[in-house]
Amino acid sequence: MTSTSSEPSLAEAAEPSGPSRRELNKAATRASIATAALDLLRSNGPGNFTVEDITASAGVSRRTFFNYFASLEAALASVADGFMDRALEQFRLRPADESILESAQAALMALADPMSVAPMAELFSLTQENRSLARSELEAWEHCTGQIIDAARSRLGPDTSELYLHALAGSVISCGKAAMTVWFAERGPDLSSESLAVLRQHLIDAMGLLGAGFAPSSDITLSAATAAPSSTDRF
């Protein structure tokens, strides 16, 4: 007799929560391709390797590569995904009634290990030293912008003005670029933990300046600017 019970089977009951095995495998494949691309960039230099070289190093087919990335540059840009994923995870843990910029600053402060910014810092360093990689840098910033917009929309609701969301994300990204530009001018391609700690602090300070409304330097000190934004902060 065929059972008509609506209770879950033992297999279904034992199904673990969280990402499925398929999702985990896809994430691992994507990460493997991105790592191979960055390794080849380090060893061969820009312009001296192809998609085929990446697929051979990652142990995947050309078709698989293009299932995950539209171009070689997109694969390189994805090395910054890990940092953004961790920052946004911390952002989503912040109180829902907290201002967006205060949450963003707190999320960066929660990433206490300066090495968390290493992949993004390395990509930025490489693109500054060789502008043929500018498209990879652009891809990375555009992806970060999209993630910030999605996170802000999730916090503020689907009826939030698209202009507001894009202006907010653009402002945050501009501050991130400014922090990295100043860091690179100060430290160059130094990826030591000490140097990356400076970059992390620049990112935190830049969010603080944005939250403070960029008051003139004669009216506000950096320490005041980088304090948590006030409750009147519209963001």
pLDDT tens for residues 179-224? Answer: 999 999 999 989 999 999 999 999 999 999 998 888 765 554 454 4
Higher pLDDT, 58 or 127: 58
Percent of the chain surpassing pLDDT 70: 83
Residue 111 has pLDDT above 80, yes or no: yes
Q: What is the pTM of this model?
A: 0.75
CB burial of residue 140 (10 Å; 0-12, 13-18, 19+): buried
Cβ atoms of 80 and 117 within 8 Å: the answer is no
Higher pLDDT, 17 or 89: 89
Tokens found for residue 99: 């201002």
Residue 131 has pLDDT above 90, yes or no: no
Percent of the chain surpassing pLDDT 90: 44
State residue 224's pLDDT score.
43
Mean pLDDT of 41-70: 93
Cβ atoms of 63 and 35 within 8 Å: the answer is no
